[in-house]
Copies of this chain bind each other. A is one copy, B any other.
Amino acid sequence: MSETDEMLSAEATSPVCINLQMMRSSHYILKAYDEAYRPFGIRATQMPVLGAVARRQPVTIRQIADELESERSVMSRKLQVMEKNGWIREDPEASGKEKMFVLTRKGKELIQKILPVRMDVQQRLMSALTRDELDLLLTLCNKLKAIS
């Protein structure tokens, strides 16, 4: 086997990759949430944002992005979509530099309707793990975050 072929071997190009495995698991979980949320017209990736706005309103784009550890411009566009959907709106109280968002009545109602659904999926998730396993998983996730 040539050196080149060795580099292309399964061993070299596809060792068990912890990140791929984590991404795949997350992917399937996200899909489960998405399917459960579909009748409500909200996506799984929007739900944490809606919750964060609900808890912290009035809140700036930057604050939401920081809290959810997401990129700022991404959050900016997500909030635009959510505003278009009528779940949140701009708060006119905001000062010149920043933009503040608050929950609308429609957004509040959506949360109320969807929380039980969210609970159901979480229940399914949690039933896959014991309490100890859950704690351990969170610990390991935190350890991994440290490499950044």
**A-side interface residues toward B, CB under 8 Å?**
4, 7-10, 12-33, 48, 51-52, 54-55, 69, 103, 108, 111-112, 115, 121-122, 124-126, 128-129, 133-134, 136-138, 140-148
Contact = CB atoms under 8 A, between A and B. Distances in A.
B144 A111 contact: no
A143 B133 contact: yes
Identical copies in the complex? 2
A33 B51 contact: no
Contacts of A115: 7, 12-13
Contact of A19 (B4, B12, B29, B103): B29
B129 A28 contact: no
A133 B10 CA distance: 24
A67 to B, nearest CB: 9
A18 B134 CA distance: 8
16 contacts: A8-B55, A8-B103, A13-B51, A13-B115, A16-B138, A19-B125, A21-B137, A21-B141, A22-B22, A22-B137, A23-B30, A25-B145, A27-B69, A124-B147, A133-B143, A136-B136
